[in-house]
């Protein structure tokens, strides 16, 4: 006899392990091999030439901001860092007094008015993705 609840439970348990876009304790680079990341970035750029592939992850020591629901992003080439940060703040459900920093590869703070295509040309990883890390900053006032 077929038990739909057992199938639902099995899929709910196994699906996060199959989803490469799912957040886990490992970073995107640790979860996937260089070859698979590079192939995905090349395929994405061919398929969507007006988009830039990004990976946005939480800083490893961050405690006050939760994990974002989506790691891989595909954004328009003309999108600025400011526009990306607004979208991320909404996705993270941050309250008005809570601000955060966006860092490229965990070390460079990009200017807010620079388009993604410029950042991608300058800072993209060897695999073809542009890696962003977000971390919190308390603001009062």
> Which residue ranges make up each domain of the chain?
25-138
Residue 33: left (phi > 0), alpha (psi -120 to 50), or beta?
A: beta
At residue 65's C-alpha, the angle toward residues 53 and 136, to 5°, is 85
Q: What tens digit of pLDDT does each residue of 10-52 get?
A: 555 554 444 444 445 688 888 999 999 999 999 999 999 999 9
CATH for 25-138?
3.10.20.90
Query: What's the chain's Rg over C-alpha atoms?
Result: 17
Q: What tens digit of pLDDT does each residue of 56-98 get?
A: 999 888 888 888 889 999 999 999 999 999 999 999 988 877 8
Residue 42: alpha-carbon gap to chain centroid:
17
């Amino acid at each position: 006899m077929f038990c739909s609840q057992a199938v639902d439970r099995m899929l709910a348990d196994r699906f996060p392990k199959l989803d490469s876009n799912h957040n886990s304790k490992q970073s995107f680079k640790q979860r996937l091999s260089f070859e698979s990341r590079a192939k995905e970035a090349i395929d994405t750029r061919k398929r969507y030439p007006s988009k830039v592939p990004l990976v946005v992850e939480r800083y490893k020591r961050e405690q006050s901001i939760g994990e974002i629901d989506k790691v891989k992003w595909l954004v328009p080439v003309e999108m600025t860092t400011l526009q990306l940060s607004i979208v991320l703040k909404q996705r993270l459900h941050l309250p008005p007094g809570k601000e955060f920093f966006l860092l490229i590869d965990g070390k460079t703070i990009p200017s807010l008015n620079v388009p993604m295509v410029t950042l991608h040309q300058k800072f993209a990883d060897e695999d073809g993705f542009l890696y962003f890390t977000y971390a919190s900053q308390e603001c009062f006032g």
